[in-house]
Amino acid sequence: MMLRIFLLVMFAQILALGYVVNASDTKLVRLVDSGKNCSGRVEVYRSHQWGTICGRGWDLRDADVVCRELGCGRAISAFTTAMFGRGVGVIWLRDMQCTGDEEELSQCHSHSFWNSKDEHSCSHSDDAGTECSGPLEKPVLSLLSPQSVFYPGEGVRFSCMAPPSPYHITDFYLYRRGGVVSHTFASPQMRTELVVFNMEMPHQGSYSCVYKVQGRVRSPPSNSINITVVELNTPEIWYNVSLDAPPGSVIRGHSFNVTCSTQSLYPGGSFQLRIIRSNGTVRQSVPAFTTSVTFTFPSAQTSHEGYYCCLYRVQLGGRVFTSRESQPLPIILKEPKPLLSAMEVSWLVSAVTFVVAVLVIILVVRGLCKRKGTPMELERGSRTCVENTYIVVPVK
């Protein structure tokens, strides 16, 4: 039994909480029983029910706050004798004392909530009412600057023009993300210039303007204009070469790579590599699909000597934005190392000379020996065989 009671109590609390939440989404002030959106009997929402306001002491300053809170412009009339019919239920407030500058009626000072002791001083025949001018028309925002894309540090000039109005316009405001970024006083031409100086990355976004008429009534926001700030970082540059190459050098005939990198990446951007040589400058460009790109040189030649610099470029809003150049990267061409050093070549030449000399000597000696061991034609015919030995008999 206790469990059932506990569950019923919890269920009732949940329903009450849901009712309060829904009620909090409702406007706390409304105008009723006039057939128009911006005029009628003033009713306020308290303790989950609508009630009226006692009209005694109700004036244009109080009505102005109601019109402002409902977005209905300025108050034309303030009524104190149930001009729009008698309300029913509770009379919630009396003795309203608005200054006319409040944004909401709840910010105004009032005597107290209605209670039974005040019945003799006010009734529903004294219900307060008001007639508002209706919503102000939107102003028109336009750019006086020739473009909508800017470098950091540049200024942006806007024009805010109010439509013809029977009210005295006092101020113009330029808004971005709900915050005021520029303010000027109204001019007789109902048009003013609003400037944002020294644009930075946090300043980009959607801008709109409003105007204010006397009595702190603001117009609805104008059309919006989107502003872009392009901030390009200085690219970094480095190169990759063969391990045999000295620092800052490439070897003739060998391949090498130069890489450019940036933190900023915009659609349509590109990297440009500048090679500054003694006889001029060479440029190479490639699209920047990622934050870095590599330029490849398959065979290093004399024309590749010089200083290498990276740039990042992008075209936005009809303007070309170029980053600062990277630090220059010097590259010097070196000849490939010979297979043998000078000393090794000298030793090799000496060895070859020595071998050739030895061979020549051997050949000469062998030739002499062969010539010495071969008999003359006259001696060849006079040989005799004695015990298997040839004896040369000289011819007389």
212: tokens are: 């204010």
Which residues neighbour 353 within 8 Å (Cβ) at sequence distance 6 or greater?
A: none
- Best CA proximity match to 219, nearest among 144, 133, 348: 133
Question: How confident is the model over 374-392, as a mean pLDDT?
Answer: 50
- Selected from 3.40.470.10, 3.40.50.80, 1.10.10.10, 2.60.40.10, the CATH number assigned to the domain covering 236-334 reads 2.60.40.10
- Best CA proximity match to 169, nearest among 131, 218, 207: 218
Q: What is the pLDDT of residues 45-100, one digit of tens each?
A: 988 899 999 998 899 999 989 998 898 888 899 999 999 999 998 999 988 999 88
pLDDT at 112: 57
CA distances to 78, 216, 262, 301 from 331, in Å: 84, 68, 21, 11
Tally of residues, the chain: 396
- Best CA proximity match to 237, nearest among 332, 323, 311: 311
Q: What is the pLDDT of residues 129-165, one digit of tens each?
A: 999 988 888 999 999 999 999 999 999 999 999 998 7
How far is Cα of residue 205 from the mean position of the Cα atoms in its chain? 10
Considering the domain 26-132 in this protein, what is its CATH number?
A: 3.10.250.10
- 376 pLDDT band, cuts 50/70/90, is low
140-229 placed in CATH 1.10.3720.10: no
Rounded-to-integer distance, Cα 198 and Cα 179, Å? 17
∠ CA 354-358-363, rounded to 5°:
150
Two domains, one topology: 26-132 and 236-334? no
Checking if the pLDDT of 9 tops 80, the result is: no
pLDDT at 269: 95
Q: How many CB atoms within 10 Å of residue 101?
A: 13
pLDDT at 236: 96
3-state secondary structure the chain: CHHHHHHHHHHHHHHHHHHHHHHHCCCCEEEECCCCCCEEEEEEEECCEEEEEECCCCCHHHHHHHHHHCCCCCEEEEECCCCCCCCCCCEEECCCECCCCCCCHHHCECCCECCHHHCCCCCHHHECEEEECCCCCCCEEEECCCCCEECCCCCEEEEEECCCCCCCEEEEEEEECCEEEEEEECCCCCEEEEEECCCCHHHCEEEEEEEEECCCEECCCCCCEEEEECCCCCCEEEEECCCCCCCCEEECCCCEEEEEECCCCCCCCEEEEEEEECCEEEEEEEECCCCEEEEEECCCCHHHCEEEEEEEEEEECCEEEECCCCCCEEEEEECCCCCCCHHHHHHHHHHHHHHHHHHHHHHHHHHHHHHHCCCCHHHHCCEEEECCEEEECCCC
Q: What is the pLDDT of residues 347-371, one digit of tens each?
A: 778 888 888 888 888 888 887 877 7
pLDDT at 235: 96
The residues spanned by each domain of the chain are 26-132, 140-229, 236-334
Which residues neighbour 298 within 8 Å (Cβ) at sequence distance 6 or greater?
A: 255
Q: What is the pLDDT of residues 248-281, one digit of tens each?
A: 899 999 999 999 999 989 999 999 999 999 889 9
pLDDT at 346: 79
